[in-house]
Chain A
Amino acid sequence: MWIPVQINEQSAEPLYHQIKVQLRALIVSGQLAEGTLLPSIREFSQQVKCSVITIRRVYQDLENEGLLRTRQGTGTFVAKVGEQERDRHRLDSVVKALEEAVDAGRRVQCDEEELRRLFEQVVKERFSAEQKSHSPPE
């Protein structure tokens, strides 16, 4: 099974943290359903091209959070995610992406006002594009 996790090598954020945040988002958003068997530690580390130590740490952390379950000899599964849990982590990856966008803006000396305006503009553009593509042809 292939897990859609993307690594940003340029980031100062440790690799294991990047993978954990993304895997958690996939679980709490329901994209990885309860009972899904995850790849073995070795298999997953090959997909992401990282070491088994990193993946072992991610699995352990998420198990401690109650999002994963490991059955000896069978593998690691997605556990049942409570409503509360879902709400708490649903927006994690969105916040992360916004933080990166703000950092990118500051690198080119954007001020607060300019960033807000840009954000409004992008939101408007994306949503209106969606509406257009969903509306029936005339």
Chain B
Amino acid sequence: MTDTAVRLSGVKLKRPHFQLGPIDLEVPRGCVTAIVGPNGSGKSTTFRMILDVTKPDEGEIELLGERVEPGSSSDTALRQRIGYLQEESLSHERGFRASEKAGFVSQWYSGWDVNRYQELLRIFEIDPSMKLGKMSKGMRRKFDLAVVLAHNPELLILDEPSSGLDPLAWKQMIELLHRYMDDGDRTILLSTHIIEEVKRLADYIVFLVQGRVLGVYEKDELLSSWLGYFFSEQELAARADIRIEAMPGKQSLERMTGMVKITTDKAVEAEEWLRQHGITAAGKQALELDDILELLVDRQRLLTRHS
């Protein structure tokens, strides 16, 4: 058993209008890893390559300890261990009833647990006799999620799982995924735009921007290492001996009326530095994930411009 559920090494994909990678990524087993990034940054394509739906031009992919090679999508033993929720529901299924689709899918999975499936329908209040095309977007999403979970996979790959869900259904989904993880050896890899989803679910965060991994972070470490400090111009003017720009980890500096805001990604060092120099901040502010993402994207743009 390795401690890595999914491993991508030097994975590259070239298309006329888009280049993905090279991507190096390790998704740890037993944890929830969230891929966060703007639209079109390559999240869904990455998932399709992991599942051998799209073939990368270069690089290697390892899934649950086995190498993904051309033709391995027919490896049914490996398929049994994975649950994949795609971004869009399949439109050719619109004419099926929910029960018909579940009956079809269940044939492929020896681990299909009919009791678990029924329980999921009950939690999500889904009527299995309904035609899939007649379901609302949220209802359809819940049904697809139930089908993906019913064979108790050890790895869940979820492409924007909450799109279309109302707040109540969203909460049910989060609780369901928490419960899924209770059995410590399971892994979730998901992509999302929803910051609150990352906060509630993720252990690790992967920032994927313009086909590149900007970084893999432990969520809590990331959130507590970024901090915004406010200083009054007056206080800074009185301390002309100190260049506040030299604060450790400085990522940005904004001037407002009478105030200077400095954002750092090394909060502990910055705190110590301020203490040593006897400077008191007028205020502090924790950063939200989207603020951090924005600053990382800016930094990346500067780097590519200079290189």
Which A residues contact B (CB, under 8 angstroms)? 9-16, 40, 42-43, 45-46, 49-54, 103, 106-107
Asked if B283 and A107 make an inter-chain contact with CB atoms under 8 angstroms apart, the answer reads yes
Asked if B182 and A12 make an inter-chain contact with CB atoms under 8 angstroms apart, the answer reads no
Kindly state the separation between the CA atoms of A100 and B220 in the bound complex, as whole angstroms. 22
Task: Specify which of A12, A16, A54 is in contact with B267 (CB 8 Å cutoff).
Answer: A12
Asked if B220 and A12 make an inter-chain contact with CB atoms under 8 angstroms apart, the answer reads no
Query: Would you give the shortest CB distance from B281 to chain A, in whole angstroms?
Result: 7
Kindly state the separation between the CA atoms of A82 and B227 in the bound complex, as whole angstroms. 38
Task: Specify which of B31, B221, B283 is in contact with A52 (CB 8 Å cutoff).
Answer: B31
Interface flags, B266-291, vs A, CB<8A=1, else 0: 01101100000000111111100000
* Given A9-B286, A53-B31, CB of A15 within 8 Å of CB of B280: no
- By beta carbon, the residue of chain A nearest B178 is A46
Choose the segment among B3-11, B12-20, B129-137, B195-203 that binds chain A (4+ C-beta atoms closer than 8 Å).
B195-203
Query: Can you list 11 A-B contacts with CB-CB less than 8 angstroms, sorted by A residue number?
Result: A11-B224, A12-B267, A13-B268, A15-B220, A15-B221, A51-B220, A52-B30, A52-B31, A53-B31, A53-B218, A107-B280
Residue B219 interfacial (CB < 8 Å): yes
Residue B169 interfacial (CB < 8 Å): no
Residue B223 interfacial (CB < 8 Å): yes
Kindly state the separation between the CA atoms of A9 and B291 in the bound complex, as whole angstroms. 15
Query: Would you give the shortest CB distance from A102 to chain B, in whole angstroms?
Result: 11
- By beta carbon, the residue of chain A nearest B270 is A12
Kindly state the separation between the CA atoms of A96 and B227 in the bound complex, as whole angstroms. 20
Asked if A14 and B268 make an inter-chain contact with CB atoms under 8 angstroms apart, the answer reads yes
Give every chain B residue within 8 A of A42 (Cβ-Cβ).
178, 181-182, 184
Which B residues contact A (CB, under 8 angstroms)? 30-31, 178, 181-182, 184, 199-200, 202-204, 218-221, 223-225, 227, 267-268, 270-271, 280-286
Kindly state the separation between the CA atoms of A43 and B204 in the bound complex, as whole angstroms. 17
Give every chain B residue within 8 A of A16 (Cβ-Cβ).
220
Query: Would you give the shortest CB distance from A15 to chain B, in whole angstroms?
Result: 4
Kindly state the separation between the CA atoms of A40 and B30 in the bound complex, as whole angstroms. 14
Asked if B182 and A40 make an inter-chain contact with CB atoms under 8 angstroms apart, the answer reads yes
Query: Would you give the shortest CB distance from A58 to chain B, in whole angstroms?
Result: 11
Give every chain B residue within 8 A of A103 (Cβ-Cβ).
280
Asked if A107 and B224 make an inter-chain contact with CB atoms under 8 angstroms apart, the answer reads no
Task: Specify which of A10, A14, A54, A106 is in contact with B280 (CB 8 Å cutoff).
Answer: A106
Query: Would you give the shortest CB distance from B68 to chain A, in whole angstroms?
Result: 27
- By beta carbon, the residue of chain B nearest A105 is B280
Asked if A10 and B203 make an inter-chain contact with CB atoms under 8 angstroms apart, the answer reads no
Asked if A51 and B227 make an inter-chain contact with CB atoms under 8 angstroms apart, the answer reads no
- By beta carbon, the residue of chain B nearest A18 is B224
- By beta carbon, the residue of chain A nearest B221 is A14
Give every chain B residue within 8 A of A12 (Cβ-Cβ).
224, 227, 267-268, 270-271, 284
Query: Would you give the shortest CB distance from A123 to chain B, in whole angstroms?
Result: 24
Kindly state the separation between the CA atoms of A103 and B225 in the bound complex, as whole angstroms. 20
Query: Would you give the shortest CB distance from B215 to chain A, in whole angstroms?
Result: 16
Sample of 12 more A-B contacts, CB < 8 Å, known A45-B203, A51-B218, A54-B220: A10-B285, A12-B224, A12-B267, A12-B270, A12-B284, A13-B268, A15-B220, A16-B220, A50-B219, A52-B30, A52-B203, A103-B280
